[in-house]
Structure 1
Amino acid sequence: MDFTPGPQGQFPGAEAAPRSAPPNFIPEAPQMESRTFGAPGRPGVPVSPQFGFVRPGQIRRCIHRYTFIWLVNGNSFWFYPTFVGNQFVQGFRWRRNRWEFERINLRRILFFRCF
């Protein structure tokens, strides 16, 4: 896959940001189960049945939908994905009351939920 900048220096999936703010609520954090699963770079991370390790095929269903993301470092935020590659998702992150373009490595995402 070619990820060289296109017209106006944009990358694939770097189309216009959403025209409105994300939903006006913060979803409840996922409930952890007692069972754990290993994954590259994250052995033994607890997993909830409605959430899970992020694979490209899973988060691809959230393209162009408001998505709440929980990172492995404890941060969480609203995101609007526009493109999913094999190792990253890119789109717009809600920060300081505006959408900012961002690329996130899938290994950094612990859970996500799209609406």
Structure 2
Amino acid sequence: MYDFRYDKYEPEYTVPYIQFIPVPVFMPRQPGGIYGRPTGRPPQGGISGSGMPPGPPPSKAPAKRPPKQGGPGQQAKSIDGSSLKPCRFKYVYIWPKRGPGFWAWLINIGRNSISGYRWYRGRWAYFGMDLKQIDSFLCY
């Protein structure tokens, strides 16, 4: 039987009730920037062509439709990713829950988020957004 008390790797100081070994924690780098923050740059590769919009969006913003009333207390909490699938590679007007609406050109649509290009200050800028942040949208 091996006696651990005389092990040369055993530290001289021990606490009988607890041993703390610090473990470094590394956050994995995610696409879109450090810790998932958008960088404003489009993803490299993986898109046939460049995925860029063909030109500027329509000049007029559409009027927002009133929400459909399905009964008392029935209101969608978030948009479903499958409802946005037909809007891929098309102009989409998005009304977020906070802030003004904007034109977008979607290239990636997932279960919980979207990414693509957003018309911002007269040019297209790459962006990503959680589906829970979208109030409504209109596809063209």
TM-score by length of 1: 0.73
Closer/same/farther in 2, CA of residues 38 and 13 from structure 1, 3 Å limit: farther
Matches within 5 A, 1:1-115: 4=31, 10=44, 15-34=50-69, 35=71, 36-39=73-76, 42=77, 53-115=78-140
Task: Give the % identical residues.
Answer: 24
Relative contact order: is structure 1 or structure 2 higher (C-alpha 8 Å, sep ≥ 6)?
Answer: 1
Aligned partners of 1:9 and 1:83: how far apart in 2?
A: 10
Task: Write out per-residue CA displacement over residues 45-66 of structure 1, whole angstroms, 9 at most, x where no aligned residue.
Answer: xxxxxxxx41010001100000
Gaps of 5+ in 2: 1-29, 33-41
Amino acid at match of 2:137: F
> Is the contact made by 1:13 and 1:83 (CA closer than 8 Å) also made in structure 2?
no
Number of aligned positions between the proteins: 99
Query: Which has more strand, going by share of residues?
Result: 1
Gaps of 5+ in 1: 43-52
What's the CA shift for 1:12? 5.6
Q: Which moved more, 1:14-23 or 1:58-67?
A: 14-23
Aligned partners of 1:84 and 1:32: how far apart in 2?
A: 23
TM-score by length of 2: 0.61
Closer/same/farther in 2, CA of residues 61 and 9 from structure 1, 3 Å limit: closer
What's the CA shift for 1:11? 7.4
Aligned partners of 2:108 and 2:97: how far apart in 1?
A: 21
